[in-house]
Structure 1
Amino acid sequence: MPVGRRQVLRAGSFTVAAAALGAQVGCGTKSAKAAAGETKGLDQLYREAKAEGGSLVVYAGGDTANQQDGNKAAFEKAFPGIKLTVVVDYSKFHDARIDNQLSTGTLVPDVVQLQTLQDFPRWKKEGALLSYKPEGFDKVHDAFKDSDGAWTGIFVDAFSIIYNADKVNGKPPLTANALLDASWKNQIVSTYPNDDDAVLYLYRLIVDKYGWNWLSRFVAQKVTWVRGTQAPADQVEAGTKAVALGTDGALVPGAGVKTRFVVPEKDPFMAWAQRAAILKKAKHPAAAKLYLSWWLSKPVQENFYMWSVRTDVTPHKGFRKIWDYPNAHLDGFETFMSDRAAVERFRQQLTLYVGEVTGPPSPGRLGLSPGK
């Protein structure tokens, strides 16, 4: 697994950031504006979480069972005695699972964090979400949060091209069109775009720019298609493939990491704020509040491997704040996700080129109530 991918902390920053958060506990930190959200501070939230029983279950969108292990370790290091269970599965399975649990009275998670952005307004309307503004909520970019606190973005993820610096001979492909060069034949791996809506949206943007002929020529490059966005990252880092389309990577790679993430100058890529919410029927609401306030705390946001949702966090060196990249199409992903009929029409057209999704889901088959 590439160092730092889908983890809170950049490579080499784990101890520093965890210690910083640990130092915050007990210092009585307060929000700058009481009206903007939580005023108790991490220390009091921590005490309340321990008094509640010290447990928390999170359903997190992702690709492999261990993808959130770094986040779990950082949280439990900062707050000893709080047991965090993170169940990772594709967002499209988690949202269906949550709907089923709500309808059958068998709810398991306290917090849900997913890329299915369209679910959160619906769950809010249905009364399934707890209105809560974590500490730091007032610093979250307005586009990344619900004004009533039903959900908040906790990090910004982005999908584009990645490449192995040792495999591209100093000439990495920096645009989707560059991937059509004959030198990349048999060297590209991609998540099935018809299996992941975020990857599907990236392909939508590329097809809109270059046309369906681009997709036909891209498929002719003998692309290796896989399930989940972790596998392409792993293959590129290992050097099995030189290039991947439809995954993420650290903006500032750690020591020894060979993967490079491409932020195109003009070509489209896609980014979104992963939304997190506390379910109104959560069994551990105090721990859930601690978790969201921890995510929005400045030490965690500063050490996330891509972009922060906070307006007062400086981006990694050499990068602008994500909302300053018009070609990241921040607004477009939610619009795309919300029109399910249009999503399915594009998915089926694309499948004619790519083929049907094959293979087991990369997180495994988790059933109705994982984490119970």
Structure 2
Amino acid sequence: MAGKKALSSIAGAVVSLSLLLSGCMAGSQTDKASGDKSKSNLEEKVVIYSPHGKDILQEFEKKFEAKNPNVDVEWLDIGSQEVLDRVRSEKKNPQADVWWGAPSVMFNQAKGEGLLEPYKPTYAKALEDEFHDKDWAWSGTSQTPEVIMYNSKKLSKGEAPKDWDDLLDSKWKDKIIIRYPLASGTMNTIFSAMIYRDYKDSKDPKKGYEWLQKLDANTKEYSANPEIMYSKVAKGEGTVSVWDMPDVVMLKEEKNYPFDFVIPESGTPVLTEGIALVKNAKHPKAAKAFYEFVNSKEANKILAEKHYRIPTRTDIDNLPKWIEETKIKPMDIDWKVFESKSNGWMEYWDNNIKNKEKEQKE
């Protein structure tokens, strides 16, 4: 179990999750006896679904509980697509209160399915229109450029791929390890962007599918979770991947992974990562308090300086030098097309492209 109050990331059923919530995840409230519950109108716990990883989740659990000692933060660390699927399956009996972390496309999908509770935060004026839903079903917490990641012990910056199409060169055959896209908002976006490059003019995904077939031929493995991907690239089992820039910088600087990155020359998708309240959540007051906390000025400074997140708020001063100096060429993307098409594109990839060359050889 990751984190002192973390939910286990098990597959499945709402019943199993309910047992976790009532059982292994539930800590003794006497451990927080220093808080005077009579002085707060917040509920005694708040449940977070998030792909942000145990380091961030554990830290923000502790910091929020320090400010709200009567509230027990419980969290489930899973991929953003898995969050959407779980929130969708729990619509009639929500188990989560807050969904923290996913591309805006996924939040828009959830909004369309009636899964989110609109909330306009107190910092609303510090967000440009592109960084929040027009009805405030979600608001942006960070900007996430996608990059080509490589093992810096095995490759020099000059040897690493410079652009997306370079990944198709035969010299990278069995050198690429990728996070399984259908469970990852980051990978879902990267793959969809590769299709969209031609689709935006042709309205046909064929060339995008052909590009993904060539990438598949060079891909050694689709890792079940990010930690497996990190480990295998770090060990040199593969030397190249594609991932988000903040995580690559964090892994390099904080955990001494032999990683570096290249910002693709032709442009890259830049995701807006967000936060949202789950509709009909059991702990709405604590959920709003957590929502406000994780995008407060204090939290943004922590996320930028310690966890390498690029804020969406316009009123955060004295950001780290790497944020100020990084030059990104955003890919021109119609995100509404992504919302309507990406699920179908990824389903086609899963059924018709993934590992097909390996299967044919067998």
TM-score w.r.t. structure 2 length?
0.69
Bigger proportion of residues as helix: 2
Instruction: Give the 3 Å change call, closer, same or farther, for CA 232–126 of structure 1 in structure 2.
Output: closer
Structure 1: 4+ residue segments shifted above 6 A: 46-49, 64-67
Q: Give the total of aligned pairs.
A: 304
Instruction: Give the 3 Å change call, closer, same or farther, for CA 54–339 of structure 1 in structure 2.
Output: same
C-alpha separation between the residues in 1 aligned to 2:111 and 2:346? 28
**Residue 101 of structure 1 pairs with residue 101 of structure 2:** no
Partner of 1:317: 321
Partner of 2:261: 261
Task: Indicate which of 175, 184, 187 corresponds to 2:172.
Answer: 184
Partner of 1:335: 336
C-alpha separation between the residues in 2 aligned to 1:301 and 1:113? 14
Instruction: Give the 3 Å change call, closer, same or farther, for CA 71–217 of structure 1 in structure 2.
Output: same
C-alpha separation between the residues in 1 aligned to 2:182 and 2:114? 31
Partner of 2:119: 132
Instruction: Kindly report which structure 2 residues correspond to 1:141-156, keeping only aligned pairs within 5 A, or say none.
Output: 141-156=128-143
Instruction: Give the 3 Å change call, closer, same or farther, for CA 328–297 of structure 1 in structure 2.
Output: farther
Partner of 2:25: none
C-alpha separation between the residues in 1 aligned to 2:165 and 2:337? 23
1:307: Cα distance to partner?
A: 1.5
C-alpha separation between the residues in 1 aligned to 2:345 and 2:171? 32
Deviations 1:172-226 (A, max 9, x none): 2222233344553332201233554542331233353686554444333352222
Instruction: Give the 3 Å change call, closer, same or farther, for CA 74–187 of structure 1 in structure 2.
Output: farther
**Residue 232 of structure 1 pairs with residue 222 of structure 2:** no
Q: Is the 8 A contact 1:54 1:81 kept in 2?
A: yes
SS at match of 2:181: coil
**Residue 58 of structure 1 pairs with residue 48 of structure 2:** yes
Q: Percent identity?
A: 21
Task: Indicate which of 72, 83, 87 corresponds to 2:72.
Answer: 83
User: Which amino acid is 1:275 matched to?
Assistant: G
User: Which amino acid is 1:228 matched to?
Assistant: N
Computed over aligned residues only, the root mean square deviation of the Cα atoms, in angstroms, reads 3.7
Name which structure has the greater RCO, CA cutoff 8 Å, separation 6+: 1
Instruction: Give the 3 Å change call, closer, same or farther, for CA 227–186 of structure 1 in structure 2.
Output: same
Partner of 1:295: 294
**Residue 348 of structure 1 pairs with residue 348 of structure 2:** yes
SS at match of 1:174: coil
Instruction: Give the 3 Å change call, closer, same or farther, for CA 118–319 of structure 1 in structure 2.
Output: closer
User: Which amino acid is 1:165 matched to?
Assistant: S
Give structure 1 stretches of 5+ with no counterpart: 1-45, 357-372
